Chain A
Amino acid sequence: MQAFLTDHRLNVGLVSPEVPLISNLPVWSNIALIRQYHENLPGEKSRALVIDLLERFGMTSIAEKRNPFLTEEERFCVMFIRAATIRDAIVCLDRPFRLLPARPGGRFFTEALQKIDDLIAEVHIFDYSREKEPYETNDGAEN
């Protein structure tokens, strides 16, 4: 996985406990930060963009919440959206069940992916072979 990250480091968006949300920023800032920094997108515009993305997940209510106050599912979705806001994003899910101990079915990932499909170029899921079953697809990458 490290090699993959290095190869695609310009547009890879990692979803992992090793890349947590910033706890002193609200959810919308965590997501907006990427485009604000790299594209100098004004605060209001980036906020509108984030609200739009959260709406796709039905989570606009969490826009002003901070990391410690999110549920596991909400936290995962926020991290997923954040990873997708990179231009031509290659979203990389690193052992996603560490973020989702409730272990939702593979459909959860597919639905999430479909909601922001327009932003994402590629999605890669890295997990142990033994964890293959919950994912609906059979071609998941192995670490």
Chain B
Amino acid sequence: MARRIEFKVGLFITIVTILILASITYVAYRKDVFSIVHTYTLSSKTGENLTVGMPVAVWGFTIGKVSSLELNDQGIVLIQIKIPERHIRMIRANSKFILDKPLIGIPRIVVQTSDLGDRPLSPQAIPELTESNDINEIIKRAQPIIEKADRIMANIEGITAKLDDPEGDVNRILRETETLIARFSKRDSLLEIAIGDPESIKAIHESLRKIKEITARVDGILQRIDAMAGKTDEELYGPDGVLPQFRNILRDLLMKLAKIDTTFDNINQVSAEAVDSTKNLKGLRNELDETIMTIRNLADEIDRKIPFKTQPEIKLP
């Protein structure tokens, strides 16, 4: 009886001890408790928003944490971060350390490494921690885009005026094309006949192609801004916020480009008297080219200043 009890107790203790130790060891292993940890020191002029245990992240993944904070004799805050061995390749000499204070959620230190092939950061080096504040940063980034959008609006206004003006280029072309319809209604390649200049035809086709291309790009950006606006702060993205206004401008732009596109489609379907039409179309094409160029620059600017490409969706922390 006594031996049976001893056996059962021994068996139970052994099995459960193994299970407990295995579980704890596995969790500890996955949490890098056993891995070699490298310590780096960063400097900052202020300790505000810095806390021990704050995560250190690369591309949204936590790779380490702040282990200690210290104020030195020169009044500089020294921040020690601990990075496990397996993440050490993310910390290079060119790495930039940014204190990221998101709109929602806890602050964290973001490591930006442009060249992973660069030499490792020396443990003796003390890189400076720069600060990033989501709201101010986005407003700062958005400001030149808004200015540029204003200039585009002026150009668009010009084009719109021509569309609306009964004596404007587009309307005049339309009237002329209507006349041509009667004459050459049964002919093929009516545009060629109307203009009589192969170079001009080519240029107009090119412009049309560019408009479609740019329209698609701007539309894509709008969709991404829509996705972003649905997830962020009311103040920034609300009805009176910065990005909705910008979005409205772009929508207006798209609408107007669509009008021009339709006009050109109409032209393409009609005939016209060659000499007069060529002159009018050339003038319009130049204006169109200028607008296209500006829109292209704007699109590039947006892509450059808001990092949609690497981060398709702005995630909340």
Contacts and interface: CB of A to CB of B under 8 A. Distances in A.
Nearest to B1: A64
Contacts of B2: 43, 47
Interface in B1-23: 1-2
Contacts, number: 3
Q: What is the size category of the interface that chain B forms with chain A?
A: under 10
A47 B6 CA distance: 15
Contacts of B1: 64
Nearest to A64: B1
A64 B1 CA distance: 10
A64 B2 CA distance: 10
Contacts of A47: 2
Interface in A14-64: 43, 47, 64
B3 to A, nearest CB: 8
A26 to B, nearest CB: 9
Contacts of A43: 2
A66 B14 CA distance: 31
Nearest to A28: B2
A47 B1 CA distance: 13
A54 to B, nearest CB: 16
A43 B3 CA distance: 10
B1 to A, nearest CB: 7
Nearest to A29: B2
A47 B3 CA distance: 12
B7 to A, nearest CB: 13
Of all A-B residue pairs in the complex, the 3 with the closest CB atoms, nearest first, are: A43-B2, A64-B1, A47-B2
Interface of A: 43, 47, 64
3 contacts: A43-B2, A47-B2, A64-B1
